[in-house]
Amino acid sequence: MVPMPEQLSDMIDEVRALRDDLKQWCWPRDVMTMHEAADYLRVSYDYFKTHWRTWGIPAAKAGRRMLFQQQDLKAWVSRHVHTDMPNEE
User: For position 21, what pLDDT does the model report?
Assistant: 65
Q: Given 2.50.20, 1.10.10, 1.10.287, 3.40.109, which CATH number is that of 26-79?
A: 1.10.10
User: For position 26, what pLDDT does the model report?
Assistant: 60
- Domain positions in the chain: 26-79
pLDDT, tens only, 11-28: 888 888 777 766 655 666
User: For position 43, what pLDDT does the model report?
Assistant: 95
Nearest to 70 by CA among 40, 50, 48, 35: 40
User: Which tops the pLDDT comparison, 6 or 44?
Assistant: 44
Note whether 14 and 6 are within 8 A (CB).
Answer: no
pLDDT, tens only, 24-69: 556 667 899 999 999 999 999 999 999 999 999 999 988 888 999 9
